[in-house]
Copies of this chain bind each other. A is one copy, B any other.
Amino acid sequence: MSQLPEVSEAVEVLGRTPALLEHWLTGLSEPWLHAREGEGTYSPIDVVGHLADNEEVDWMPRLELVLEHGESRPFTPYDREAFRTRFVGWPLERLLARFGDARRENLDKLIELRLRPADLDRTGMHPALGSVTVRQLLAGWTVHDLTHVAQVARVLAKRYRDAVGPWREYLGVLGDRERART
């Protein structure tokens, strides 16, 4: 009944993201929650909205598609702006709950799949990236959480880019990507 390391390692990280975001962002004031690097980029609250939307339509549905249909049915392209119309006016707490519920359901499903080593090599068709394996999908899902956690830290930090004065040179995150989507 034990899970493959590729599954259990992903579950470790993926299972913790909702609680980490909840303890980090709940109660933060508006200037922090709505900080952005520029037009068309995500604020911390946008990241949570994106993760809530993404969780329902991206990684886990794609994994199921691969297992059922292989490369014969390409993934539906993902719309990074969909959350803006889907969750208009939702407060942070509601977005966090939605994300946490969807994540829990998906990880329960993933565990119940009891993937075997051969399943990790099965391939699906990404609409832009081409052929991808289940192994890559599990790793991609995990790193997708982490890239957005790094993004939240970076976006919050940059509110104070000028305020830190000469300390700037010691605070590497302030020099990280500009106007990044993730």
Contacts and interface: CB of A to CB of B under 8 A. Distances in A.
Interface of A: 9, 12-13, 16-17, 19-20, 22-25, 27-29, 31-32, 126, 129-130, 132-133, 135-137, 139-140, 142-144, 146-147, 149-151, 153-154, 156-157, 160, 163-167, 169-177, 180-182
A130 B167 CA distance: 10
A132 B166 contact: yes
A20 B24 contact: yes
A140 B164 CA distance: 5
Contact of A177 (B9, B29, B176, B182): B176
Contacts of A181: 172
B165 A132 contact: yes
Stoichiometry (number of copies): 2
Ranked nearest first, the 7 interchain pairs of A and B with the lowest CB-CB distance are: A139-B163, A136-B165, A140-B167, A150-B153, A147-B173, A146-B157, A20-B24
A31 B13 contact: no
B157 A172 contact: no
B27 A12 contact: yes
B144 A171 contact: yes
Nearest to A137: B167
Contacts of A177: 172, 175-176
A66 B146 CA distance: 37
A163 B136 contact: yes
A154 B163 contact: no
A164 B136 contact: yes
